[in-house]
Amino acid sequence: MGDTIKLIGIVIVIIGFVLKFDTLAVVVVAGIVTGLVGGMSFMDILSTLGSAFLTNRTATLFILTLPVIGLCERMGLRDKAVDFISSLKGATTGRLLSIWQAIRTVCSAFSLRVGGHAQFIRPLINPMAQAAAIAQYGEIDEKTEDEIKGMAAGTENYGNFFAQNCFMGSSGTLLIVSTLNEIFKSNGIATEVTANQIALQSIPIAVISVVVGVIYALWYDTKLKGKYKK
């Protein structure tokens, strides 16, 4: 035992997240408890929490981009994205999902909120992907329907997750920057990383995610063909 008790904060975070308690409250409680078992005084904990919160205000800089993004949404940004998708013709399920994933990834890299399961996948992408399969093979069974739904929802997640850090103002990028700089500071190292560096270094994996996603979607096309072709 001994030092192992210091891991109690992690246990609190895991239990809190699993039981779906309020995230912010769980994190703050975990921090305070960890500090106490680590032998810090309550005043020390408050000061550490306060000063780390202030130096990490960079992580919340993204709020400055919200007025312009909100304005563009009001001016029809999402509607035009829908227009573009609907104008595509003659696509198979896999090709359609590939194109959508590419678009979703680029938008995500530019911090455009063109996406969302509720806004895009349910009303637009899934119906089109299902329709493409039906147009090609006539009837499809329930299992295939479920698979296509899963594929469609996946494209949203891949594009969202693997490309969002390409934008230097994204909350993920800013989290990486503040976490690394906080580590450097507490270890007495005079280095700093910047959001720009993280954003540029996030590009390769974003590109790779599209390649992997497209291969997967096109493989799914051949799987469908194998299943339904007489």
Partner 1 sequence: MLEIEWNTSTILAEVFYCMIGLILLLVGISALKNKNAEKNVTTAIFWFILAATFIIGPYIPTWITGLCIIGLAVLTGGGFVKPAAVNIPTAEETRANADKYGYKSFIPPVVLALSAVVVATVFSSLGANNAIGISAIIALIVAIIIFKPKLSTPFKDGVRLTDNVGTTGILPQVLAALGSLFTAAGVGAVIAAGVGALIPEGSHFIAVAVYCIGMALFTMIMGNGFAAFAVITVGIGYPFLIAQGANPVVVGALGLTAGYCGTLMTPMAANFNIMPAALLETKSKYAIIFSQLPVALVMLVIHILLMYFLAF
Residues 114-143 that bind partner 1 (CB under 8 A): 117-118, 121-122, 126, 142
Per CB under 8 A, the list member of 165, 210, 221, 224 interacting with partner 1 is: 165
Q: Which two tokens stand for residue 199?
A: 């954003």
Q: Does 228 bind partner 1 (CB under 8 A)?
A: no
Per CB under 8 A, the list member of 71, 222, 225, 227 interacting with partner 1 is: 71
Q: Cβ neighbours of residue 84 under 8 Å, at least 6 residues apart?
A: 103
CB of 71 to partner 1, least distance (A): 5
- The C-alpha R_g of the chain, in whole angstroms, comes to 23
| Strand positions, DSSP E, 49-183 | none
Looking at the Cβ atoms of 72 and 131, the one nearer to partner 1 is 72
Looking at the Cβ atoms of 111 and 136, the one nearer to partner 1 is 111
CB of 132 to partner 1, least distance (A): 16
* 86 to 115: interface string for partner 1, x by CB under 8 A: -----------------------xxxx---
Residues within window 166-225 making contact with partner 1, judged by CB under 8 A: 167-169, 171-172, 174-180, 182-184, 186-187, 191, 193-202, 204-205, 208-209, 212-213, 216
User: DSSP string covering 102-114, please?
Assistant: HHHHHHHHTT---
24 vs 172: CA distance, rounded Å: 17
Which DSSP symbol is given to 169?
T
Determine the distance from the C-alpha atom of residue 87 to the mean position of all C-alpha atoms in its chain, rounded to a whole number: 27
Q: How many residues does the chain have?
A: 230
Q: Which two tokens stand for residue 168?
A: 């230097």
Give, for 212, the enclosing helix (H) or strand (E).
helix 203-228
CB of 230 to partner 1, least distance (A): 26
Q: Does 66 bind partner 1 (CB under 8 A)?
A: yes
Q: How many binding residues for partner 1 (CB under 8 A)? A: 126
